[in-house]
Amino acid sequence: MLFFYLLVWGVGLHAQETEGEEAKKKYSATTSFSAIASSGNAKEFTFSLESTHKFAFDKSQLDLYVGTIISASDGKRTSNLYNGYLKYKRNIRQRSYLLGLVSYERNTLAGFSSRYSLSLGVGHYIVKTEKRELQIEGGLGGTIEYLMPKVGNQTSPVNGSAHSGKNEYLQSRLFVRGAMAISESATISQEGQFLFNMKEAEDVRIYANTALTVTMVKHLALQMGLKIKYDNQPVPGYVKTDIITLSAIVISF
């Protein structure tokens, strides 16, 4: 409830602007985190962290992202997710670019201990202004993933030291992102990533992320987010859809 009241209060605030800032920063970073812990009749713990770092050069940009969500209930792990990527973009026109993307994901509670992907492609900003942004990317690459073993009737093993199988396949990637300022202090963004297995047409993964970010003071904001991870052909014994809601503090510079 405290977060909700702060969010409503923050919508009415104006983000402080610094005069004389460079038109384009050479380096920028954004980090969001949240943590909840309780004890007593039930012991609960949840922690999330996302950090993005952008390095801008004359005609290119390098993006580094790392994220994790960990939670436990009464000593039993209920979420165990790690992911990250390194993206290189090379401008070929004012709004178009070539890109290379290397990504990593670990989610033992979804049936795989590690998933590595490499993709090459192109991207374009359909709209790019101070208040609105619409971006699209497409590419081709490959994926290697290591599956988790099932222990008896357990469908959510946490131990990632053993593997029950390995998958390798060619993959196509489509990424769409939109962002819009709905006030001087609030921005809403939505992105979707669609991954297609080139060997099996029905093997499709979709990652969707919606976030509302409200600036409280300079460099500090509150964020409410909804993440959806959908796998049309999950590891046998696991469900297709994971839904995650987050409330976080965001620090940027």
**Structure-model confidence comparison of residues 201 and 188, the more confident one:** 188
Please name every residue paired with 179 in a beta bridge, in sequence order, or none if there are none.
Answer: 133, 189
Average the pLDDT over 137-148 and give the result.
Answer: 94
Percent with pLDDT over 70 in the chain? 84
**CB count in 10 Å sphere of residue 240:** 12
In a domain, 23, yes or no: no
CA–CA gap between residue 113 and residue 104 (Å, rounded): 11
The residue type of 82 is: Y
Hey, which of 5-19, 66-80, 149-163, 217-231 has the most confident mean pLDDT?
Answer: 217-231
In a domain, 180, yes or no: yes
**115: domain CATH number?**
2.40.128
What is residue 102's predicted lDDT score, i.e. its pLDDT?
Answer: 98
Q: What length does the chain have?
A: 253
CB-CB contact of 250 with 28 (8 Å):
no
Tokens of 161: 């030291």
Q: How many domains does the chain have?
A: 1
pLDDT of 136 above 70: yes
- Condensed to tens digits (0 to 9), the pLDDT of residues 69-115 reads 998 888 788 778 999 999 999 999 989 999 999 999 999 888 899 99
Quickly state the pLDDT bin for 223 (edges 50, 70, 90).
very high
In a domain, 91, yes or no: yes
Domain range for 134 is 2-13+83-252
Tokens of 177: 């992102």
What is residue 230's predicted lDDT score, i.e. its pLDDT?
Answer: 96
Average the pLDDT over 138-164 and give the result.
Answer: 68
In a domain, 21, yes or no: no
Average the pLDDT over 165-184 and give the result.
Answer: 95
- Condensed to tens digits (0 to 9), the pLDDT of residues 2-52 reads 343 334 344 444 333 333 344 456 999 999 999 888 887 778 889 999 999
**Structure-model confidence comparison of residues 246 and 15, the more confident one:** 246
In a domain, 44, yes or no: no
- Closest by CA to 112, choosing from 167, 192, 50, is 167
Quickly state the pLDDT bin for 163 (edges 50, 70, 90).
low
What is residue 12's predicted lDDT score, i.e. its pLDDT?
Answer: 44
Mean pLDDT, the chain, whole residue set: 85
Quickly state the pLDDT bin for 159 (edges 50, 70, 90).
very low
CB-CB contact of 71 with 78 (8 Å):
yes
What is residue 76's predicted lDDT score, i.e. its pLDDT?
Answer: 83
**C-alpha of 232 from chain center:** 19
3-class DSSP state of 161: coil
What is residue 24's predicted lDDT score, i.e. its pLDDT?
Answer: 52
In a domain, 31, yes or no: no
**Structure-model confidence comparison of residues 242 and 76, the more confident one:** 242
Average the pLDDT over 127-136 and give the result.
Answer: 95
In a domain, 71, yes or no: no
In a domain, 122, yes or no: yes
The residue type of 141 is: G
